[in-house]
Amino acid sequence: MSAELFDITIIGSGPAGLYGAFYAGMRGMKTKILDSLPELGGQLVTLYPEKWVYDVGGFQKILAKDLAKSLIGQAMTFEPTVCLAEKVTSVKIHDETGTRSFEICTDKGSVHLTKTLVLTAGIGAFKPKRLDAPGVREFEGNGVYYFVKEKKIFHDKSILIVGGGDSAVDWSLNLLDIARSITLIHRRDQFRAHEENVRELMNSSVRVMTFHELKSVRGNGRPEEAVVFDNRSLEETTLDVDCVLLNIGFHADLGPIKEWGLDLDKGGIKVNYRMETNIKGIFAAGDVASHPGKLKLISTGFGEVATAVNFAKNFIDPNAKVYPGHSSDMRELSARKRQN
């Protein structure tokens, strides 16, 4: 029995992928979502469900898990087919039926057929950059963390946060309401975070130590002390800590995507203004897509995937307009189609 042919398949179920599935439903497309993770939501649920998200229109801030819940509900509006815990291993052009399509194979031995493909795989497979300092690996998962799945583990704790990006700054502010104390160290005096959040950080009760790095973590069974040093003078300071949170970035790997014949650069998969890759019918959106002026924000990912879906619709049906009209008109048309 041959695989069912879909109009559009979206690989990745983070914010861009979920919104893309909803938008494809608005355009009347038969839609499938594929993801290697066991649940929908991408990094919102796997990395930082209790972290505040600031770059989504309509919300001053929203918890990542709440944003994921809302996006999942929206994505399911038109009942797309969802396949989870399947890692895509290969994509190739399929012509056996006489109709050009793409054949997607996964590590489960499944074969999926689709007329168009939208890649919203984020930064691909990712691993945190680990710090090679005495005591870090010893206490990893038991007082030393790279991710925050539940804030409650930091209740009434003295926390050391290492890093100078959005994650380090955001968690410093986000954990203030439950922590006993927070110290943030950063190897420089410039932060790679939103200016307003940095301003709030500097006006908070967080102890900020710039030009400092982590030398070691010590304790009996769990962290009890952290030794940090000034990277200018090498002067050391010993801090009483219960937990250490390392937010120093990720190593990203596109994995099998690199073997699919797509044009790549350091930023991800190259796309044009249609969000189309060098292979006609394959599009990319969100963090995995790369183009001049790229901003890796959730808000820009929504716009990119809407663009990709509209051009995918036109790709499989040249009579369909790329610009379908206002979303309210599209919604009414989709509702009438379901009733009929």
Q: Which residues contact 19 (CB under 8 A, 6 or more apart)?
A: 71, 74, 75, 301, 302, 305, 306
The residue segments making up the domain with residue 183 are 130-248
pLDDT at residue 97 in the model: 59
- Assess whether 113 and 152 both reside in one domain: no
Q: What is the pLDDT of residues 188-220, one digit of tens each?
A: 999 999 899 999 999 999 999 999 999 999 999
Dump the DSSP string for 206-248: -EEEETEEEEEEEESSSEEEEEEEETTT--EEEEE-SEEEE--
- Assess whether 78 and 50 both reside in one domain: yes
- Assess whether 120 and 260 both reside in one domain: yes
- What is the rounded distance in angstroms from the CA atom of residue 2 to the CA atom of residue 98? 14
- Assess whether 290 and 333 both reside in one domain: yes
Average pLDDT over residues 57-86: 96
Q: What is the pLDDT of residues 92-125, one digit of tens each?
A: 988 765 678 999 999 999 999 999 999 998 765 5
- Assess whether 80 and 112 both reside in one domain: yes
**Ramachandran region, residue 131 (left: φ > 0; alpha: ψ -120 to 50; beta: rest):** beta
- What is the rounded distance in angstroms from the CA atom of residue 128 to the CA atom of residue 100? 40
pLDDT at residue 125 in the model: 58
- Assess whether 68 and 156 both reside in one domain: no
Domain boundary among 196, 221, 248: 248
- Assess whether 121 and 256 both reside in one domain: yes
How crowded is residue 296: how many other Cβ atoms within 10 Å of its Cβ? 16
Say whether pTM exceeds 0.75. yes
Asked if residue 91 lies in contact with residue 260, where contact means CB atoms within 8 angstroms, the answer is: yes
CATH label of the domain that carries residue 212: 3.50.50.60
Domain boundary among 228, 248, 268: 248
Tell me how many domains the chain contains.
2
- Assess whether 313 and 204 both reside in one domain: no
- Assess whether 231 and 148 both reside in one domain: yes
- Assess whether 68 and 202 both reside in one domain: no
- Assess whether 332 and 306 both reside in one domain: yes
- Assess whether 14 and 120 both reside in one domain: yes
Q: What is the pLDDT of residues 157-180, one digit of tens each?
A: 999 999 999 999 999 999 999 999
